[in-house]
């Protein structure tokens, strides 16, 4: 967006604010709430198409094997089996399931490593074949009768095995004959040697290595796709996804179709959190529909979701920090190995995203990041709320607390001394804009009664049940700038009854994106938000968007909405000026009318203005009042969080109970406080599970996920949640954001686990180096520390 356009936009926002905001900044329930609470919301699995077939996948029982042969003869004999697809009868077009735009396939960022069906299977749960049949029972039976001959191959499951000398290749696309996916990413304020030297020259040097677990999004709605290849050669996919335009590219590439012959429609999504950002099995369902000419549905079981979708990268992160006597961080070096599983997907890109966050929190003159995604034979990792960021925040925040313990610093004071200040340049020379992390820390310290509660907790440290108080920080961006293009387009059309429809490629994942965009449009057009229909994410109907990812929706979508609504407002004032024979500068929009500012009784309704324009009544050509605007991000803006918590640990059972949690967020102006709080609550829930209970346990012998169900994959229940949860905001507006808003989706969760681990460390007086903090792990650490 040109500089002038940007300045005009900000000037316009200021005028609206001066008038007083009516919808922005006000709580408002999710606009789909009534549909959802009555069971009428239609998710993908609720679609019922005539003659629809049901699909079932055959998943690999082996972590690494070559498929020698597939015999489907017994399966084909079952009545009602309509198609069986597998490596030997499907197209072999390579793709990357996380590809975001055409040509986005660099071997460094987005290596293409996947096929609809490959000759090799590379993890337990990899696709071998798929059946479409008249009902799900027939499909399931047919899958059981497919005979596959495998040639077993050696496999690796963790990053150490994968990087060992002479390790088997989990995937043949690694760089230089290794399991490194994409390549090493290494950069910093100075050269690697200079940063390491600066750290070593500091008064104190600390180094810790942290092991990160593989966790799943645990969205309640299992992955589901419906495809229909119609006789005119058009493939339509209905999916529960986060990025329909990306899906269109990937599906088209996998099936060899032009983009114009693929339409992807996002349905209401039952939770995603990054887990539905990559194409999953959509190409398979598309292929089955092409083979049968009938609609085909695939709905995964929960077990299949755990085995064959995406999850957060596990791995190992080492943080080395040099601190001077005065408590200033002189230098920091981070080495990160992310286990990306069997296929590239967004592995290298997750590393890239996490590297960026490394530099945006602490003010150290010397910093360096070195990291890589690593192939192994476990289910592929992908995007998950934070996109690599929790894997930096958690190790570093626990490392910072260790520094505090050893140097005798209070964790709050040490952080206050070292965090970046508003409008400061970091060590890479990037401006952090209105970064209010120090304000978040201060607000939290006060609201949490930090010193008093730390002391009170320490008074319990001789008892069986000990309390601990800890904190952790986080930073997250909003959008991709300056790494990739980041744009979205919004169209708003006015109807001749004075209502409107807003078309956007933005995806609402239950987060309330549609609600928020309607609030923003309503603020400008003065139409009740409930009278603005919001149509989202359909590749043939809505304008282009790059998906619900990178916490970009409110920032990018919100600004595009302002631009489009403002254009429409100008069209309204222009037509009204002709109707009223009053100059534009005397007119204002007010509650569905254009009124003459100095004579408010002289007015005309939006409905009448639209009708007048369509009839050409004022002598202008007949026209629809419609506006389309594209917003292009030209500013990297960051949200910040300081999380505080108190825990109780029973030193006989090593059960941890979180007693109180306080999240302090700087997300600029909050557009909808009700939805904002909901995002934070959910982020806390996810972070608590990451810290304490959730882990996809990989069998070290077979590579199989040992707990693919909600009984054994333990997400927090209501009874596990802290009895007290509070959310505070530091609402200093961010100029580039819509009405001063920044992001919240990912920042809500990024810092939670660090605060919890630090509180447990405080309670037990030990260093903790992995998550989740199971009772067995805590017991082993405490017993080891007693022995030493």
Contacts with other proteins, 130-149, as mask; x by CB under 8 A: -------xx--x--------
Nearest of 750, 749, 630 to residue 683 by alpha carbon: 749
Looking at residue 175, the DSSP 8-state letter turns out to be G
Q: How far is the CB of 672 from other proteins (least distance, A)?
A: 9
Using CB under 8 A as the binding rule, whether residue 27 contacts other proteins is answered as yes
Provide the 3-class DSSP secondary structure of residue 710: coil
One of 381, 518, 658, 725 touching other proteins (CB under 8 A): 725
Q: How far is the CB of 267 from other proteins (least distance, A)?
A: 12
User: Alpha carbon 110 to chain centroid distance?
Assistant: 18
Residues 221-240 that bind other proteins (CB under 8 A): 221-222
Nearest of 473, 364, 486, 370 to residue 428 by alpha carbon: 364
DSSP element (H, E) containing 67 = strand 65-71
Using CB under 8 A as the binding rule, whether residue 19 contacts other proteins is answered as no
Binding segment for other proteins among 42-50, 280-288, 387-395, 768-776 (CB under 8 A)?
42-50
Contacts with other proteins, 464-503, as mask; x by CB under 8 A: ----------------------------------------
Residues 52-81 that bind other proteins (CB under 8 A): none
Using CB under 8 A as the binding rule, whether residue 509 contacts other proteins is answered as yes
Look up residue 368 and give its two tokens: 């360096």
Cα 344 to Cα 354: distance, rounded to the nearest angstrom = 16
Dihedral, CA of residue 551, residue 554, residue 560 and residue 561, to nearest 10: 160
Binding segment for other proteins among 345-353, 464-472, 632-640, 672-680 (CB under 8 A)?
672-680
Residues 230-289 that bind other proteins (CB under 8 A): 268-273
Answer whether the bond into residue 772 is a cis peptide, omega within 30°: yes
Size of the site for other proteins (CB under 8 A): 59
One of 4, 581, 717, 786 touching other proteins (CB under 8 A): 717
Phi and psi torsions of 115, nearest 5° = -130, 165
Cα 558 to Cα 739: distance, rounded to the nearest angstrom = 9
One of 10, 14, 19, 48 touching other proteins (CB under 8 A): 48
Contacts of 250 (CB under 8 A, 6+ apart): 95, 96, 97, 99, 279, 282, 283
User: Alpha carbon 579 to chain centroid distance?
Assistant: 48
Binding segment for other proteins among 34-42, 282-290, 372-380, 540-548 (CB under 8 A)?
34-42
Binding segment for other proteins among 111-119, 218-226, 325-333, 756-764 (CB under 8 A)?
218-226
Using CB under 8 A as the binding rule, whether residue 664 contacts other proteins is answered as no
Q: The sheet that has 53-59: what strands, in order across it?
A: 81-86, 127-133, 53-59, 296-299, 224-229, 235-239, 262-266
Choice between 1 and 715, CB closer to other proteins: 715
Using CB under 8 A as the binding rule, whether residue 685 contacts other proteins is answered as yes
Look up residue 550 and give its two tokens: 């990178």
Evaluate whether 142 touches 133 at the Cβ level (below 8 Å).
Answer: yes
Question: Could you write out the DSSP letters of every residue in 26-41?
Answer: S----TTHHHHHTT--
Q: How far is the CB of 517 from other proteins (least distance, A)?
A: 16
One of 152, 164, 220, 459 touching other proteins (CB under 8 A): 220
Q: How far is the CB of 74 from other proteins (least distance, A)?
A: 14
Look up residue 273 and give its two tokens: 């959190």
Phi and psi torsions of 520, nearest 5° = -65, -45
Using CB under 8 A as the binding rule, whether residue 587 contacts other proteins is answered as no
Provide the 3-class DSSP secondary structure of residue 376: coil
Using CB under 8 A as the binding rule, whether residue 39 contacts other proteins is answered as yes
Using CB under 8 A as the binding rule, whether residue 721 contacts other proteins is answered as yes
Looking at residue 266, the DSSP 8-state letter turns out to be E
Cα 741 to Cα 24: distance, rounded to the nearest angstrom = 10
Using CB under 8 A as the binding rule, whether residue 18 contacts other proteins is answered as no
Find where tokens 């139409």 sit: 527
Q: How far is the CB of 213 from other proteins (least distance, A)?
A: 17
Q: How far is the CB of 47 from other proteins (least distance, A)?
A: 9
Cα 84 to Cα 63: distance, rounded to the nearest angstrom = 23
- Show the CA angle centred on residue 131, arms to residues 126 and 136, nearest 5°: 105
One of 307, 675, 692, 757 touching other proteins (CB under 8 A): 675
Using CB under 8 A as the binding rule, whether residue 386 contacts other proteins is answered as no
Residues 299-328 that bind other proteins (CB under 8 A): 299, 301-302
How big is the chain, counted in residues? 788
Cα 233 to Cα 350: distance, rounded to the nearest angstrom = 36
One of 9, 30, 516, 527 touching other proteins (CB under 8 A): 30
Choice between 373 and 513, CB closer to other proteins: 513
Q: How far is the CB of 223 from other proteins (least distance, A)?
A: 12
Using CB under 8 A as the binding rule, whether residue 684 contacts other proteins is answered as yes
User: Which residues lie near other proteins (CB under 8 A)?
Assistant: 27, 29-30, 32-43, 45-46, 48, 137-138, 141, 217-222, 268-273, 299, 301-302, 509-512, 674-675, 677-678, 681-682, 684-686, 709-711, 715-719, 721, 725
């Amino acid at each position: 967006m040109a500089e002038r356009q940007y300045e005009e936009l900000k000037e316009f926002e200021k005028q609206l604010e001066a008038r007083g905001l009516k919808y922005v900044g006000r709580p408002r329930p999710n606009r789909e709430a009534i549909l959802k609470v009555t069971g009428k919301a239609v998710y993908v699995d609720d679609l019922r198409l005539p003659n629809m077939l049901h699909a079932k996948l055959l998943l690999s029982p082996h972590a690494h094997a070559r498929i020698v042969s597939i015999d489907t003869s017994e399966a084909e004999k079952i009545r009602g089996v309509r198609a069986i697809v597998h490596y030997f009868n499907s197209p072999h077009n390579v793709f990357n399931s996380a590809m975001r735009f055409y040509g986005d396939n660099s071997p460094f960022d987005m290596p293409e490593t996947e096929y609809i069906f490959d000759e090799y299977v590379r993890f337990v749960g990899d696709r071998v074949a798929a059946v479409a049949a008249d009902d799900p029972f027939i499909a399931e039976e047919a899958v059981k009768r497919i005979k596959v001959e495998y040639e077993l191959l050696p496999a690796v499951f963790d990053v150490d095995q994968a990087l060992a000398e002479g390790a088997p290749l989990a995937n043949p696309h690694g760089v230089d004959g290794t399991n490194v996916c994409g390549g090493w990413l290494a950069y910093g304020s100075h050269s690697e040697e200079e940063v390491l030297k600066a750290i070593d020259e500091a008064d104190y040097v600390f180094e810790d290595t942290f092991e990160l677990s593989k966790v799943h999004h645990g969205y309640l709605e299992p992955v589901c796709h419906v495809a229909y290849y119609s006789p005119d050669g058009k493939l339509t996919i209905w999916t529960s996804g986060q990025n329909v335009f990306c899906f269109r590219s990937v599906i088209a590439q996998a099936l060899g179709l032009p983009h114009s012959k693929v339409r992807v429609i996002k349905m209401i999504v039952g939770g995603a959190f990054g887990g539905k950002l990559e194409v999953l099995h959509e190409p398979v369902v598309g292929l089955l529909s092409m083979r049968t000419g009938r609609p085909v549905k695939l709905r995964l079981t929960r077990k299949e979701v755990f085995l064959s979708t995406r999850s957060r990268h596990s791995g190992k992160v080492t943080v080395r920090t040099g601190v001077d006597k005065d408590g200033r961080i002189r230098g920091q070096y981070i080495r990160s190995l992310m286990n990306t599983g069997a296929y590239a997907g967004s592995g290298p890109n997750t590393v890239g995203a996490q590297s960026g966050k490394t530099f945006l929190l602490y003010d150290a003159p010397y910093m360096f990041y070195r990291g890589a995604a690593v192939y192994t034979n476990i289910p592929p990792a992908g995007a998950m709320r934070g996109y690599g960021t929790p894997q930096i925040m958690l190790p570093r925040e626990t490392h910072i607390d260790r520094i505090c313990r050893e140097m005798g610093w209070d964790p709050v004071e040490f952080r206050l001394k070292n965090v970046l200040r508003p409008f400061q340049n970091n060590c890479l020379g990037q401006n952090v804009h209105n970064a209010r992390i120090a304000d978040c820390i201060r607000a939290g310290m006060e609201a949490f009664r930090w010193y008093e509660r730390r002391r009170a907790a320490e008074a319990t440290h001789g008892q069986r049940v000990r309390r601990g108080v800890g904190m952790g920080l986080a930073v997250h961006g909003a959008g991709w700038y300056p790494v990739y293009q980041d744009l979205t387009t919004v169209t708003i059309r006015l109807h001749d009854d004075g209502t409107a429809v807003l078309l956007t490629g933005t995806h609402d994942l239950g987060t309330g994106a549609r609600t928020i965009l309607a609030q923003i449009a309503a603020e400008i057009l003065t139409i009740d938000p409930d009278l603005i229909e919001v149509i989202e994410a359909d590749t043939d109907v809505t304008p282009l968007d790059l998906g619900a990812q990178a916490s970009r929706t409110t920032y990018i979508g919100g600004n595009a909405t302002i631009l489009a609504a403002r254009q429409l407002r100008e069209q309204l004032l222009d037509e009204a000026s002709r109707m009223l024979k009053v100059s534009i500068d005397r007119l204002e929009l007010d509650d569905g009318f254009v009124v003459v500012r100095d004579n408010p009784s002289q007015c005309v309704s939006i409905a009448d203005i639209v009708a007048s324009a369509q009839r050409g009544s004022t002598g202008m050509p007949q026209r629809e009042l419609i506006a389309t605007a594209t917003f292009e991000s030209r500013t990297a803006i960051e949200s910040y969080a300081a999380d505080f918590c108190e825990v109780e640990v029973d030193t006989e059972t090593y059960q941890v109970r979180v007693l109180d949690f306080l999240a302090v967020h700087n997300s600029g102006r909050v557009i909808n406080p009700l939805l904002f709080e909901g995002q934070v609550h959910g982020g806390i829930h996810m972070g608590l599970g990451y810290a304490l209970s959730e882990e996809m346990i990989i069998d070290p012998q077979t590579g199989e996920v040992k707990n693919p169900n909600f009984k054994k994959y333990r997400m927090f229940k209501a009874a596990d949640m802290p009895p007290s949860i509070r959310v505070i905001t530091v609402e200093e507006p961010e100029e580039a954001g819509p009405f001063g808003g920044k992001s919240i989706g990912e920042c809500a969760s990024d810092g939670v686990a660090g605060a919890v681990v630090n509180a447990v460390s405080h309670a037990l007086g030990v260093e903790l180096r992995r998550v989740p903090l199971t009772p067995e792990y805590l017991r082993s650490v405490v017993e080891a520390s007693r022995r030493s």
